[in-house]
Each structure stands twice: as C-alpha cells, then as structure tokens.
Amino acid sequence: MKTTVLAGMAWGVLAAGAANTIPPYGDVRLKGPIGERLEQMVKNHVRATDTAYITAPFLEKTERRRWWQTEFWGKYMHSAMPFWTYTKDARLKANIEEGVACILASQEPDGYIGNYPDDLRCGEGWDVWGMKYTMMGLMHYHDGLQADDERAKKTLAAACRLCDYVIDQLGPDGKRGRHLWETGNWCGFASSSILEPVVWLYNRTRRQKYLDFATYLVKDMTEVEAGPRLLDLALKGVSVADRNGYGNKAEKGGGYVMKHNRWKSYEMMSCYQGLVEYYEATGRKDLLDAAIATCDQIIKDEINIAGGCSASEAWYHGARKQHLPYTHQQETCVVTTWMRFVEKLLQLTGEPKYADELEKTFYNIYLASLNRDATEFAAYTPLNGYRSRGHHHCYMHTNCCNANGPRGFLAFLRALFQADGDAAVMNMYATSSETVVLPKLDERVTFDMYTLYPKDGYVRIVNHTVKPLAFTLKLRIPAWSARTSVKVNGTAVKDVKAGTYLALARNWTIGDIVEVTFDMTARAHVMNRHVAFTRGPIALARDTRFHDGSISETFRRNSMKDGQEVSISSARAPSEEFWMAYQAMLPVGSHTENPEGRNLASVMFCDYASAGNRWNPMNSYRVWFPMEIHPGDD
Ligand SMILES: [Zn+2]
C-alpha cells in the first residue's frame, strides 16, 4: 500500500487544552419563540418517530442493495436521549425503550448489529456507516442513564461487542482481509467516521484495545495515499473542494456515488469529528490543527449567506457560486453535521467566530429546513426557489435528513451558555434560563435572558445567582454588529468590540441587569452582479406571498455596493406564517428609462427561515437578485 510523505512524520503529543464546560441537558432551557419551536419539534418529530419501524430492518438482515436503513435509529438516538433528559417526556422514553430493546435483541453471537447478510458485511455500501451510528445510538442511551443502571451497563456492553466485531473483521488482523477505509465510498470517508464512537467507547471503558483500534484508524485516515488524507491536505491549505485528486470533478467514468473521491461534505466533516475526539483523548494536536484548518476553509470557501453549504452534498467552492442555480443545495444532513463540527470547535477553542457561524446557520438554513408544524425536515433547501419534503430512502417512509435534523437544535442548545474557568460564556441570544458551575470557582451561576432576538436587537440578561460572587460574564459580540451598546445596571460599558467576547468581571449580586443592543443595520452583499441582503445574522428573502411584484426583478445596474447600509423598516406580515417582515425602498426594475437607481420601488422581505415555508411550488422565494448588465459591460 502506498503511503504519503506523512508516514512516520513526527508529531508532538501535548496535553489537550482546557475546553469550555457544557452544562448538562436541561440546565439551559429555551423559552420564547425558539423554545416553542424546540418543544414543537420534540413533540411532533422526535417523539412521533416510530422506533419499532426504524429498528425492524435490524431483525431482518436482508439488505442486499448495500443501502443505509441502519443509520436511522442511531441518528434518532443522538437527539432523542438528550431531549428526553431535557423534557423527561414519558412517551418519548417509552419509544426509546422500544427501539433499544429491538436493537439489543437483534445482536448476533459474534456481536454484529446491522441488516446486511453475512457475505456483504464490512464491504461496499453503508454497513460500517450503519454500525457507526448504532454504536453512537447505544452510547447516547447509556449516557442518558445513571452509570450504575443495569440497562446502561447492558447497552454499553452491546456497543463493546459491536466494536469488537468491527475490530475482528476490519482491524489490523481482520478476517475480511481489508482495511476499514477500503470499505464504502468517498476514499473511505463514510466508514472511517466510525472513529468518533470508537474513541467514545475508549472514553467510557478505558480499554486499551479501543484506543489501539482508534490509532490504527487514524493512521489510515491520514497516511494512506488513496485514503481519506485528512491531515496533509488540510495542513497544506488545500480547499475542501479540491482534495479529491480529480480536480473538482467526478472520478473518470464514475457516477455520483464514487469510490475514489473526497468531495463528500457530510462524511468528511464526520471524520474530523472523530479526529478531534482522538485529539482530546491523546493530545495529538496536529489533528486538531487539521480540523481547524478545514473548518476555516469551509467558512471561507463554502458557507453561504444563509449559513448553509454543499450542492448534492459535495463541496463546490459554494461561497462564490451561491447565487447560481446549483443542484440540491444545503442538504439538512450537511447542515446539522456542520453545526456539530463548528459547535465542537467553539467548545475546544473558545473562538467567537465559530459561535457567529453556528448562529448564522441556526437562524437561517436550519430553522428554514424544519416545516411549520415541526413534523419533518426538508432534504434540500435552495437559496432561490421553493421548499419541499425529502424523498423516501431505502424503501422506508423516512430519509437521512429527517433522522439527522433534530441534532442541529441540540448543537445550538449546547453552545448557548458555557463555562470557561471562572467565566460564564453567553454564546447565543434567545429567551432562556441557564445555569452552570464555574469550574475554577466551583460555584454555580444562574441567569435569565429575555429577548426577541434576532427579530429585535435588544437583549436583557438578569443575574439570578443567589450568592454575591466575583466572576466574569463573557458576552459574544458578533462580528457583524459594528456598533453594540452594553449597559450593566444602567451604566454604559466602554470598548465593546465586534468579533470578540466582552468580559464583564465584577462582583455580581442577584438582580444585576445587563442590557445589550446589537446593531441590526441591514446591509447589501454584492457578488458577480448579484445582490443579497442581511439584517444582523438574518438573511433576507423576497417571497411571493407578499404580492409585491416579481421576486426575480433585476436591480438597476451598479446600484448596490458590497457592504452598503440599507434603510429598511419593520412591516406587518401578511400572515402568521412569517416570523419577520420588512419593507425597503430599492432600485429595482429595468423596464423604465429613468436614470439608473433614481426611481425606487417598495420591496418586501422576510427572514430566510420563513421564506417558502408553505412547502409548495406556488410559494417561491429568492435571496440573490441579479443586477442589470449594460451592452458595454463584459
Ligand atoms: Zn440527508
């Protein structure tokens, strides 16, 4: 097997740096409109999931098409168990128990849990990927129970037996005689992402065999010429769309599903999630560096104005092509995986830019992908067009995106409020109550937050910590908020800088009030003779329900400049289907001979999350608008 120059390369083993503490589920409670949306999603989607249905294939083991029926249960458990901890909903718990019982009953004597017949196991297709999600599902269940609970022990034991099976078949001396990365597609991305639950298993059992297997996987993921190459390409600064070895093209003669290709975004990010877990377990910092380099490349080259990314789940230099009609934009699986990735790096690095990204993704593409009654997630959500439900997958009445969707809300919830040494860190702004123990002081602090943000820029935070205490409250000041006002008990705070944390270190007393007013100035964004608009973290869209003219109408030539402030005002929405509605006077329309940009017309906008939320082709919307081209232009 050919190896890259990185084989044998020296890497330092450093102690993993201190990460932010995330409060247990339930210690941060969302209220207000975002909290209602979460409750609605848990009730109508997560709790309504039929676990007997999604676990039935595990008992049948008839998967000869090499499909992915076995991913649905593990993805479901990723949010179901945390949301049970959050809600203590008895019906949700009953559903969970039913599914777990079925999964445990399906385990074979050799440890296998899946639906592939023996001759096809651990080979092409999604079998290893399915086992990855099953291991994760079992550990989510385990983690939601008390460690001494017999069911927790039994479930962890089942995850161990499943991992033992994978090692026995695909480990260094595996019976299948192939490396794990050689199974499945995308240069081994999908299968290699099993690293994440393998490290989880090591963290929960401290068994050396799991760390050894993780080390074996990391070597293949970073040193093999034809493998995932998640280290050298990242550290060389190769953009994610250019890592596949064929240019930004499908492999020669290949269809969409490719053996040798590295442009699959969901699976690539899932691998980095595992490499970051391995860094935390071992201190191997070059892997964290590669993950950070990759994340930063994604922000620069792929993330669009709505915080989404990918076309047909592939990287495609999407940031600079987002105004074009690329196919299958912003798959919900990619969006939720991006939210997990960026939330993890926020926790590890404490860099506010990752919180800015998570916020943008959450309030735009994520909320947009959830339908109005919160029963299902869209599979693809374009920037211009209309929304619709995803197709059924694998002959089942569900799909990957419906299974993955609820995990995104969890990433937002985990990021909202954290602890860093002697500081409480407010990363997100939404009406909520939150409490956390500050590790350096071993003291609990509690706050309530009241806001209509991001519809409104005003946020009020009240200290509810009963004991008078000296500590720091860190507030994220988003990079887009150029002029932010902060007051503590009515006194203005100086030197508030965008794109940083504002550290308020003082003796806090119960009832102390912090008031923040963010700069919600609307701005134009211009790219390749197209224009789009944002207000705070929100991408704005025209929507046919406003009946205010053609949503595809061009803007006058050169009438808008990138970064230009735009005067808009709140407007009455035509119905309760809208979260936000605005009106602006803008230079649209090329049908008149009036001087360019002089004759302004009224244009209505809504927030991107509300745009097209009837999920009907008659309700279309648009984010990017073309600007006129003159005969003399290039
Ligand atoms: Zn999907």
497-522 confidence digits (pLDDT tens):
999 999 999 999 999 999 999 999 99
Q: Characterise 347 by phi-psi region: left (phi > 0), alpha (psi -120 to 50), beta (else).
A: alpha
CA 331 / ligand 1 centre spacing (Å): 6
CA 378 / ligand 1 centre spacing (Å): 9
Bridge-based pairing state of the strands 621-622 and 538-543: antiparallel
Q: What is the pLDDT of residue 250?
A: 59
CA 332 / ligand 1 centre spacing (Å): 6
What confidence tier does 207 reach under pLDDT thresholds 50, 70, 90? very high
CA 405 / ligand 1 centre spacing (Å): 8
Q: Which of 110, 171, 114, 168 is nearest to 137 (CA)?
A: 114
At residue 5, does pLDDT exceed 70? no
What confidence tier does 256 reach under pLDDT thresholds 50, 70, 90? low
CA 242 / ligand 1 centre spacing (Å): 23
CA 400 / ligand 1 centre spacing (Å): 4
247 C-beta neighbours (distance < 10 Å), count? 8
CA 336 / ligand 1 centre spacing (Å): 9
Q: What are phi and psi of 100, to 5 degrees?
A: -65, -40
Q: How many CA atoms lie within 13 A of 55 on its CB side?
A: 25
Q: Which of 11, 24, 614, 131 is nearest to 368 (CA)?
A: 614
Q: What is the pLDDT of residue 7?
A: 37
Q: What is the pLDDT of residue 634?
A: 80
The C-alpha atoms of residue 40 and residue 396 are separated, in whole angstroms, by: 24
CA 548 / ligand 1 centre spacing (Å): 34
Q: What are phi and psi of 203, to 5 degrees?
A: -60, -30
Q: Which residues of 351-363 are buried (b: 16+ CB within 10 A; e: fewer)?
A: bbbbbbbbbbbbb
Mean pLDDT of 466-484: 98
Token look-up 């988003």 returns: 478
Would you give the DSSP letter of residue 284?
B
| % of the chain with per-residue pLDDT over 70 | 94
CA 206 / ligand 1 centre spacing (Å): 33
Bridge-based pairing state of the strands 469-477 and 423-426: parallel
State the first-to-last Cα distance of the chain, in angstroms, to the nearest integer: 50
Q: What is the pLDDT of residue 152?
A: 95
Q: How far is CA 502 from CA 343, 354, 427, 485, 492, in A?
A: 20, 16, 11, 11, 13
The C-alpha atoms of residue 288 and residue 272 are separated, in whole angstroms, by: 8
CA 369 / ligand 1 centre spacing (Å): 11
pLDDT tens-digit map of 395-406: 888 889 999 999
CA 74 / ligand 1 centre spacing (Å): 14
Identify the H or E element spanning 313.
none
Q: How far is CA 609 from CA 19, 174, 321, 403, 509, in A?
A: 32, 48, 21, 20, 38
Token look-up 């992915």 returns: 68
DSSP string, 145-184: S-TT-HHHHHHHHHHHHHHHHHHHHHSTT-TT-S-GGGSS
CA 404 / ligand 1 centre spacing (Å): 7
Mean pLDDT of 401-422: 97
Kindly tell me the burial class for residue 248, based on how many C-beta atoms sit within 10 Å of its own C-beta (0-12, 13-18, 19 or more).
Answer: middle
Mean pLDDT of 31-46: 97
Contacts of 195 (CB under 8 A, 6+ apart): 214, 217, 218, 221, 271, 274, 275, 277, 278
Q: What is the pLDDT of residue 443?
A: 98
Q: What is the pLDDT of residue 193?
A: 97
Q: Which residues of 290-325 are buried (b: 16+ CB within 10 A; e: fewer)?
A: bbbbbbbbbbebbbbbbbbbbbbbbbbebbebbbee
Q: Which residues of 115-141 are buried (b: 16+ CB within 10 A; e: fewer)?
A: bbeeebbbbebbbbbbbbbbbbbbbbb
DSSP string, 429-464: -SSEEEEEEETTTTEEEEEEEEE-TTSSSEEEEEE-
CA 415 / ligand 1 centre spacing (Å): 23
CA 393 / ligand 1 centre spacing (Å): 10
CA 417 / ligand 1 centre spacing (Å): 28
Distance of CA 110 to the CA centre of its chain: 35
CA 604 / ligand 1 centre spacing (Å): 32
pLDDT tens-digit map of 115-149: 999 999 999 899 999 999 999 999 999 999 988 89
CA 621 / ligand 1 centre spacing (Å): 22
CA 402 / ligand 1 centre spacing (Å): 7
CA 50 / ligand 1 centre spacing (Å): 18
CA 295 / ligand 1 centre spacing (Å): 20
Q: Which of 415, 274, 302 is nearest to 352 (CA)?
A: 415
pLDDT tens-digit map of 278-333: 999 999 999 999 999 999 999 999 999 999 999 999 999 999 999 999 999 999 99
The C-alpha atoms of residue 583 and residue 348 are separated, in whole angstroms, by: 41
Structure tokens at 82: 């945390």
CA 468 / ligand 1 centre spacing (Å): 48
The C-alpha atoms of residue 362 and residue 374 are separated, in whole angstroms, by: 15
At residue 175, does pLDDT exceed 50? yes
Distance of CA 613 to the CA centre of its chain: 20
Dihedral over alpha carbons 180, 186, 187, 189 (to 10 degrees): -50
Higher pLDDT among residues 397 and 170, named by residue: 170
The C-alpha atoms of residue 213 and residue 195 are separated, in whole angstroms, by: 9
Q: Which of 283, 407, 394, 234 is nearest to 335 (CA)?
A: 407
Distance of CA 493 to the CA centre of its chain: 33
Identify the H or E element spanning 528.
none
Structure tokens at 496: 């508030």
Task: Tell me if 535 sits within 8 A of 481, measured CB to CB.
Answer: no
What confidence tier does 454 reach under pLDDT thresholds 50, 70, 90? very high
CA 422 / ligand 1 centre spacing (Å): 40
Structure tokens at 107: 């385990």
CA 310 / ligand 1 centre spacing (Å): 12
CA 23 / ligand 1 centre spacing (Å): 29
Q: What is the pLDDT of residue 622?
A: 98
Contacts of 356 (CB under 8 A, 6+ apart): 476, 478, 479, 480, 499, 537
Q: What is the pLDDT of residue 589?
A: 81
Q: What are the structural domains of the chain?
A: 34-420 (1.50.10.20), 423-517 (2.60.40), 522-626 (no CATH)
CA 438 / ligand 1 centre spacing (Å): 37
CA 328 / ligand 1 centre spacing (Å): 11
CA 313 / ligand 1 centre spacing (Å): 9
CA 333 / ligand 1 centre spacing (Å): 4
